């Protein structure tokens, strides 16, 4: 997963770069499971039908997501070397060879309207993921 990868990089390198122009909505798998349970099992009228966008709220850049991951890892006591991730253009990152839109943020309005559930912010979900899944020293 991305958080584990970027934290591993931040513990090994002083300087990191990530796209500052590529926008997405991170999705914490445990949140996704809860939303799917509601859509499939949580409605008296039966499972919901159709296409639903499910992700944590508030779009962010890959750089912002990575920075949140390493800041949380540092707070958790991991030996993070990198301080700040430098934003770069997506087209300058060799790993991003497939052509994809710069903005792939999804709109969860249909899910919210049907269920009354507002997905929590990605920062909160990322923090929970890092704190629960990244081994800490001691």
Question: Is 2-133 a domain of CATH 3.90.850.10?
Answer: no
pLDDT on residue 96: 77
pTM of the model: 0.91
Query: Three-state SS for 110?
Result: helix
pLDDT on residue 124: 98
Question: Cα separation of 24 and 8, whole Å?
Answer: 21
pLDDT on residue 94: 83
> Which segments in the chain show pLDDT lower than 50?
none
Buried b or exposed e, range 22-42, using 16+ CB within 10 angstroms: bbbbbbbeebeeebeebbeee
Query: Three-state SS for 94?
Result: coil
């Amino acid at each position: 997963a991305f958080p584990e990868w970027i934290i591993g990089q931040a513990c090994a390198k002083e300087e990191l770069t990530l796209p500052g122009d590529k926008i997405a909505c991170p999705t914490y798998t445990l949140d996704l499971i809860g939303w799917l349970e509601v859509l499939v099992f949580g409605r008296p009228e039966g499972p919901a039908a159709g296409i639903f966008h499910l992700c944590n709220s508030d779009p962010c850049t890959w750089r912002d997501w990575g920075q949140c991951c390493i800041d949380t890892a540092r707070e958790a006591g991991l030996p993070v070397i990198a301080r700040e991730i430098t934003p770069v253009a997506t087209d300058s990152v060799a790993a991003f060879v497939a052509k994809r839109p710069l903005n792939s943020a999804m709109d969860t309005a249909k899910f919210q309207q049907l269920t009354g559930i507002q997905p929590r912010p990605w920062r909160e979900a990322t923090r929970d993921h890092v704190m629960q899944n990244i081994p800490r020293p001691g």
